[in-house]
Structure 1
Amino acid sequence: MKQFQDSIITILRGLLSRTDIDVHVTVPDDARFGDLTSNSALIYAKECNTSPPELARTIIEKITQSDTHTRYTNLEEKNGFINATLAVDVLTASAHTHLSNELPTDHNRSTLKPFIVEYFQNNVAKPPHVGHVRSAVIGDSLVRILRYLGYPVISDTHIGDWGTQFGLLIYAFKTMGDRAVIEKDPINELNKLYVALSKKIETDVTLHDKGKAEFLKLEQGDSENRELWQWFVDVSLKDFEHYRDVLGLLPFDYNLGESFYEQHMPAVLAEFTDKGLVKKGETGEQYVDLEEFGLGRCILIKSDGATTYHMRDFATYIYRKKEFDFARNIYVVDNRQTHHFKQLFRVLDCAGYPALSDSIHVEFGFMSLPEGPISTRKGTTVSLDALLGEATSRARAIIDEKNPDLDDKEKVATAVGLGAIKYFDLSHNRTTEIVFNWDSALSFDGNSGPYLQYTHARLRGILRRAGATDAHQFSQIDTSTLTSTERLLLRQMYFFQNTLKKSVEDYYPNIVCEYLFTLASLANTYYQQTPILQEENTSIRQFRLFLITGVTHILKTGLSLLSIDAPDAM
């Protein structure tokens, strides 16, 4: 794909005598229009004093003249577009590259600045629930894909361990808590206190002010409140590591909670003040005026003297920039925080930091249950333990029905259940609001995790029966009898790496899901229509096993990049 793009760029540079040429190459949805297409002739025809079809034909002629290795079997102009069909040898060579795990990169890894990905920002003293899954699995998949492509990545949870909610929790503990009871089940019991106080606040708003007062005391160093807060944090971090492990998330490089930046906030406030950004409001609050940008006021210090989320996030950004000199600073946070991040990036820009260009809010829609939205404050949650337990139980029942004699049944059920939850989330465009549905998530048909896992297991079964476990035995293959479905499979495999690159351009893991579902669907069609083990012609049989090996390898790799296991048998 890159070679096609580079060829067009080189030709246009020669025709226009300039270097700033931007060429886009895409994959036609319909393979009848080739494997690659570019609209560059439509863009540059006027500047070349010609028509788009004529410029496209000129570019095609020059590519053909330089195509000494017969990379393309067909190059044609269609309505000003340049369409290219790749030679089968190019597609099979790409498949061999995938099987050898020698994927080329477009950059020198040693010179790259890091990408920081912040996700799964769990809150102290609150058990994670189904609503926390989205940040966890989206962030984890982005980290995996970026690293697979060769980018240096730093992961951080930025755990929520500071803010007014801790004043509320401290007040709740002081007025309703029993330490002996809480120590038996710290997270759930502390959460019960928080929910109980939240319900009381609905009828007595003065209780919220009392919670705010407790947080102010915490910020000012009150010893009792500090001791309680540290206890809340310690028990929560143990719980957090448990859920990271249960979800199968990669270990985090850093777990710098909001409280870590408390020491850095005074310097940030002083810097913003020196730069003339800070104003004082009518009730004594300190803020940055963003009215000219349509973003209202960004509050830094509340009227009672307590700091805000923004202050902690400003300190976080500046610390990361100085400490890591990052290329990208990525926040995987739900769309309810969109305004927050718009203010955050704009204020930093006003202070002279490049946050508008080097930071991005990877927002996602809210996940709800069929019963309605999820809220810790209201107590309408399904715990992560309950969700994962239910997923495993349902997966086990399906496996008992489909393959009651399966070895490692419990391990497979866990992989299928967890994979179903992750894939259900990741297969949706992250910006959409989604309602979790068990039937869709655990379906063995259609675009689901179990469907991809089952396809992989089925194909692995074919290879086991064939004794084909070593991809290197397929070094000599015959493509003379290639069927249309076989070429489609090769074509789909060819675009695996390009799909990964596309998915992290704007941080959409669902692009990988769509790719894998298409590959699995083609493979199932092929399996149903084509004799593989029964094929008597040795060379044809070898080629078909080569295809199956390639598909299973990409399915397994792709699922692993979504943090989903691919069992060899189901």
Structure 2
Amino acid sequence: MITTYSLKQQAANWLQPLTELPVEQVISMLEVPPSSELGDLAFPCFVLAKSWRRAPQQIAVELSEQLGAAASPYATAAATGGYVNLSWNRQHYAPLLLNAIALPDYEQLQPEQKERIIIDMSSPNIAKPFGVGHLRSTVIGAALYRIYAAAGHEPISVNHIGDWGTQFGKQIVAHLRWSNPEQAAADPIGEALRVYIKFHQEAETMPELEDEARDWFRRLEQGDEEALELWRYFVKVSMEKLNGIYERLGVQFDEVLGESFYNDKMPAVVEQLKTLGLLKESQGAQVVRLDELELPPCLILKSDGTTIYPTRDLATAVYRRQVMAGDQLVYVVGGEQTLHFRQVFAVLRKMGYEWADHCTHVAFGLMRINGKKMSTRKGKVVLLEQLMDEAVARAAQIIAEKNPALPQRQQVAEQIGIGAIIFSDLKNARQNEIDFSLEEALSFEGETGPYVQYAHARICSILSKAEGFVNDPIVAHNAPMPEMWSDAAWELLGHLGSYREALARAVQLQEPSVMARYAIQTARLFNQWYSRDRIVDANPRVKADRLALAKWTGHTLERTLKLLGMAAPQQM
């Protein structure tokens, strides 16, 4: 069956005996020319220049003549500069390619080895509002989950809730000193945030508050019932709030295991480090030195005997490998934690765990709002729930202005508003910083979620007007129909055929933006084709085939948006 990748394979099969390069190398060298007028694929001859002792331009002329003879009548070859440009016989390959796209299993990759991939994602802190800063881990992790599944792996999503640590000592002190019972009953997370901010403000002139907070956390670790009761309250009200946000984002978890889950698993890790002679004293604390890697010491036990993040992450990794049977452990956490994970993975290796090489920190950059960084303790946080509400309200307003008769207007507004936020994040390479603008995210023009969703809705409208006329699957015609495969139609078809390549690249790079960019290009190429070629009122000889191309473009858009965690409305 023909796909874009197998077209590359075919080109490589023709070029291999002519170049005597390995087929895999030829495939990796093939490029898409900058202009469709130059052809469909280009082979650069510069690598051959040294061994052949001829100019690349001369080699290109020689290879194009030989390749043209080998590929005829299925393709033609021409030399341009130091490149051999290959153009496919559209009449021959287009039906085969579109039929391949229509196969039920086309969207699913078959990996050489299926792996169980544990994805640590979202991981908000208890008793804190779900700010926009936690959006990235959530939507990147959820997209990777779907991408891994589409690539044939077995992903397991874990929400590693931040429900333990010294901040809970601070939260308890703040709650006991300043919390208003009425406000806590009406808005428990908002009140928890207010008093948490107040704690840090007061601690600037009352340093004894920090000692009081450390004492409460020590009591919590020792199982003090009063401390535990307060802690359970914070967990309960936080999870109720979080679950509503996850539902709107369309995010689910296979496991929700907070840091506290690993409390009884940390002593074994500490004991193992002692047995191996890895623990060293440093200013009263216990650390693992990583001098040989030119890394700072990894803190395991603080001077007061309490644990810290690395201790819990070591226990977490061991549990995910040994109990959850993860082949790959993936941590979708901000780039500011890069040093932390380098230390944790290094300690795992020193403990003798070779599988530490299969632990990966999928880092991402900060998200700013109007250029400003967010900070919970300073009160500079934009609540995701409020941002989602505003996005949905603005989407509803746009619908009311442009299509007031739209059925299920509020549902579509939710799909557009939430989708705009998700897409605005995922279209960026994850390691880049993002300066989020709601106005830009909701635009129906440019590289936005609404732009892609509208292209899908337009296709649904086209197909509904021609119901019953779609020729599915497309068939080869006895009589040539060059008008069917115009440059715009052919470019769109070739792009649809590259879906599996894009998916494989997204897996390899652990980069959802690959699929977001693919969605943008799909919508753009469809709009270009739609503006140039008639579809519903086209010549009957080509109408059915054009409708088939439109149908599978819509299907590809829907499939790609689903990978990103977005809906594909049929009407907008």
TM-score (norm 2): 0.89
CA distance in 2, matches of 1:18, 1:490: 28
Shift of residue 273, structure 1, vs aligned partner = 2.3
Q: Which whole-Å CA distance do the structure 2 matches of 1:565 and 1:121 have between them?
A: 24
Partner of residue 485, structure 1 = 488
Amino acid at match of 2:75: T
CA 1:471–1:63 in structure 2 vs 1: closer, same or farther (change >3 Å)? same
Residue of structure 1 in register with 2:276 after alignment: 275
1:184 correspondence with 2:180: no
- Provide the aligned C-alpha RMSD in A: 3.1
Offset, 1:234:
2.3
Which residue in 2 is equivalent to 1:97? 100
Q: Deviations over 1:513-532 (max 9, x none)?
A: 22221221121122222222
C-alpha change, 1:11 and 1:447, in structure 2 (3 Å) is closer
CA apart distance, 1:353: 2.3
Which residue of structure 1 aligns with residue 405 of structure 2? 405
Quote the Cα distance in structure 1 between the aligned partners of 2:213 and 2:527.
58
Counterparts in 2 of 1:342 and 1:78: CA distance versus 1, 3 Å: farther
1:531 aligned to which of 520, 534, 540:
534
- Match of residue 452 from structure 2: 452
1:150 partnered with 2:166: no
| Equivalent residue, structure 2, for 1:197 | 199
**Partners of 1:260 and 1:369 in 2: CA distance:** 34
- Map 1:79-478 to 2 at 5 A: 84-88=86-90, 89-103=92-106, 107=110, 112-178=114-180, 181-249=183-251, 251-281=252-282, 283-354=283-354, 357-370=357-370, 372-468=372-468, 472=472, 474-475=474-475
Equivalent position amino acid for 2:189 in 1: I
Query: Does structure 1 residue 74 correspond to structure 2 residue 105?
Result: no
The one-character-per-residue Cα deviations of 1:161-211 (angstroms, maximum 9, x if unpaired) are 111111111121222235564233322222222122122223333322321
Contact 1:278–1:287, Cα closer than 8 Å, also in 2: yes
Unpaired segments ≥5 residues, structure 2: none
Unpaired stretches in structure 1, ≥5 consecutive residues: none
Q: Percent identity?
A: 34
Q: How does 1:553-568 map to 2 (within 5 A)?
A: 553-568=555-570
The aligned residue for residue 32 of structure 2 is 28
- Per-residue deviation, 1:112: 1.6
Q: C-alpha displacement at 1:394, in angstroms?
A: 0.5
Structure 1 pair 20/245, CA: closer, same or farther in 2 (3 Å)?
Answer: closer
Moved more, 294-303 or 56-65: 56-65
Q: Is the 8 A contact 1:346 1:355 kept in 2?
A: no
CA contact (8 A) 1:261 1:315 kept: yes
Task: State the 1:355 CA deviation.
Answer: 5.3
Change (3 A) 1:236 1:37: farther
When structure 1 is superposed on structure 2, of 345-354 and 392-401 the one drifting more is: 345-354
**Cα deviations by residue, 1:344-387 (Å, 9 ceiling, x for unpaired):** 22222222223563121111111111162211111122222211
For the residues of structure 2 that align with 1:341 and 1:22, how far apart are their CA atoms?
38
Deviation string 1:373-416 (CA, Å, 9 cap, x unpaired) is: 21111112222221111001111111111111111111111111
Deviation string 1:228-281 (CA, Å, 9 cap, x unpaired) is 1122212222222211101111x2111111111111111111222222322111
Provide closer, same or farther for how the CA distance between residues 490 and 81 of structure 1 changes in structure 2, counting only shifts above 3 A: same
User: Cα gap change, 1:419/1:19 in structure 2, threshold over 3 Å: closer, same or farther?
Assistant: closer
Q: Distance in 2 between matches of 1:20 and 1:532?
A: 39
> Secondary structure at the residue paired with 1:373?
coil
2:504 is the counterpart of 1:501: yes
Q: CA deviation at 1:489?
A: 0.8
Q: Distance in 2 between matches of 1:357 and 1:52?
A: 44
Paired amino acid for 1:188? G
CA separation of 1:130 and 1:292: change in aligned 2, threshold 3 A: same
Offset of residue 10 of structure 1: 11
Aligned pair in 2 of structure 1 residues 15, 409: CA closer, same or farther (>3 Å)?
Answer: closer
Cα deviation for residue 104 of structure 1 reads 6.9
- 2: CA distance, partners of 1:164 / 1:424: 34
Aligned-partner SS, 2:255? coil
Is the CA contact 1:443–1:450 (under 8 Å) kept in the aligned structure 2?
yes
What is the deviation of 1:293?
A: 1.6
Name the amino acid aligned to 2:498: F
Between 378-387 and 89-98, the greater mean CA deviation after superposition: 89-98
Q: Tell me, in whole angstroms, the C-alpha distance in 2 between the residues paired with 1:285 and 1:139.
A: 34
